[in-house]
Amino acid sequence: MKNFTLCFIVALLIGFVPLEGFAQENKHNTQQEHENAIEPERCSMEAYMEEMMQDPEYAREYEERQKAFKLRLEKYLEGSDISQRNGGGTIEIPVAVHFPSASEAERSCLEALAQNQIDILNADYSATNSDIASWNAISGSFPGTTAGVANISFCIATSNHPTGLDPELLEGNPAITIGYNFGGGSNTDGNWSGYLNFVVRPISGGILGFSPLGGSVLAGDAVTMNTFAFGSGAGCTSVVPGAPYNLGRTTTHELGHFFNLLHTFNADGGGICGIGGGDGIADTPEVANSTYGCPPPTSVASCSAGQPALIMNYMDYANDACMYMFSAGQMSIAEAYVATQLQPFFASNVCQPATPGFNLTANDTELLTCPTTDTQAVFNLDYTTVQSFSETTTFSATGLPAGATATFSPVSRNSDGPFTLTVGNLGATAQGVYTITVTGTSSPSAIVETVDVTLNNNCTEIVCTDYPSNSPDLPLAITDGQAGGGIGTPVASTVINIPDAGTIESMTVTVDVTHTYVQDLILQLVHPDGTTFMNLWAQDCGSENNLTNITFDDTAMTISCPGGTASTIENMTIAPNGSLSDFVGLDAQGDWTLFVADTFAADTGQLNAWSIEICTEQQLSISEFSFDNLQIYPNPNNGEFNIGFSPKSGEDIVIEVYDIRGRAILRNTYNSVSRFEEAIKLNEAQSGVYLLSISDGPQKVTKKIIVE
């Protein structure tokens, strides 16, 4: 969560040059460049770190990690032979790969591509890559420099996967998620603590990739790669390696930053010898500027007279085909960082082949019930086998409210499939929040697995309310940015006042913006406390136009930018640049401020409309009356419910159905009759619990219905 004072937020926004925006510095030098593509920016580590270090908590943790590393580094390097450290054993690094914008239909291809990239990393970090032979012919030009070998290896995890994140992430299969919104769109995800994470997604501004400098597997940090700079070969539908960055070396480079390696040069243009000192490692000559393309290997001068630059080093910017080595000094630093700062936090027993067994996962992790209105609650779960496990597993449950019953259907399984837990007799239970542990026990091996679900038996419901902006300042002109780059001032802002108090469970934001070249835009939302904020849009995509009817939702997929100046971005639900979950747990009431900033001159536009939908947990409405002869049957069933009662008001009758988050999925209005008899069909609804609301004029009742 980013949490500062409102004055600081405004100052930060004005001075903000986010990670995706660093390509703008090159992209917008002229209006012609503004309209045409340029060579991608190789790496954005410095930009990423500059942005992240503005978070005081991140900065504190980073400095503590670096201080601890420096204290241990000298002792770690005391041994003269790197292969003798760690008892001579190779450090195995568990890897997870995430494709948030890909399709599950690509799984087989993406798994192969991920393994291809891991094979490249294993070769590059052990100096067994085929093109390392090129070093032998030129090594004499680099006295004191030898090719480095790290005593580490990489494996994609196959066992003990985190559960409840991706239904297709099966035990025994590689730790590869598809469509999972890693970190809510950020580059850190605590669900994947203990793994070296690679996130492969579109990155705007032509950036190939970025990584934290000195990453943390404990925090769940990730190396983020663009879809055209990951792996080699033909690629897949959504991830296609593109020349000259199609040999997987950008991932090798970015991972070097994760292992605390700096660039070998002082600057990416405009560098000066003696200012920066290169990477501070003795066997990599200091170089003023980065090297692009593929020049002859000894043709670029370093900052030392007569000494060529080490342009074939992975931590420079040459094309993939022309970088092929680390130095021994670099690999000493990398291995030391892995051994002292990462290895203690690696997930254990995840790279070994999975043992035969089974997993339990819950599709409904929490259900809301009320003893005065509900008789039962149905949890939907899945049983999946590992390594062709075929024993019969019997299900049981503990932690039920006193007086409740537990019924499983089926009561056991010996193959993959769904099952349900019905918690019955709720009318005899006390209110409270109950953690119910579902246990599976196999026979004859007595393998036991569990999964927890929550029964919130407190007569509450999730209510989602939409708050559209009715501000007279709309449409709001967006102040044009500065020539050469820079946020235009004053920064345009507008407010939605939410009058209702309530603890935020989840929320979405919808905007309608007319603006050419959307990469110029930053949309920042600030909570009424004036200190908590996040970026909905932060110079994402490129030369596309407009953000028309765009809903930002943490549960949605990362945007796949259409590309091109003739393209528009419209009618989409996408994950925000930041995370709306930063606001979860805060009070919804008060003035919410939306800042809209333009970061470069020449393209202008306006904010046409925006709205906030906030879901809060509220007391279930208890009717002060009863409908005569109300019948809802059959309940549960497969989605077709009959409703009957005798209306009294003489006004229209409204039937509404909401999912458990309070989102409307059906609304029908009927004329008043002496006896109401209608059927509603929810055949397309997923299995689960829903709220059925019946309004007879001013009178209203809410009942739970269950779709099997």
Per-position DSSP letters for 605-632, written without gaps between them? EEEEEEEEEEEEEEEPP--SS--EEEEE
Closest CA to 161 of 115, 217, 97, 104: 97
Which of 51, 254, 286, 505 does the annotation list as catalytic?
254
Query: Exposed, middle or buried: residue 193 (CB in 10 Å: 0-12, 13-18, 19+)?
Result: middle
Residue 254 bears catalytic tag: yes
* Cα angle value 339/341/347 (rounded, 5°): 80
Q: What is the number of residues in the chain? A: 708
Q: What are phi and psi of 133, to 5 degrees?
A: -60, -25
Q: Which residues of 647-662 are buried (b: 16+ CB within 10 A; e: fewer)?
A: beeeeebebbbbbbeb
Q: Alpha carbon of 668 to those of 407, 645, 694: distances in Å?
A: 34, 16, 10
Per-position DSSP letters for 521-534, written without gaps between them? EEEEEE-TTSSEEE
d(CA 313, CA 510): 46
d(CA 45, CA 405): 55
Tell me the torsion sign for CA atoms 55, 61, 65, 70: positive
The helix/strand/coil state of 58 is helix
Extract long-range pairs of 271-278: CB within 8 Å, 24+ residues apart. Answer: 273/303, 274/303, 278/303
Kindly give, in sequence order, each residue whose CB lies less than 8 Å from that of residue 606, ignoring residues fewer than 6 positions away.
475, 476, 477, 478, 513, 514, 515
SS3 content of the chain, % helix, strand, coil (to 5): 20, 35, 45
Residues annotated catalytic, as ranges: 254
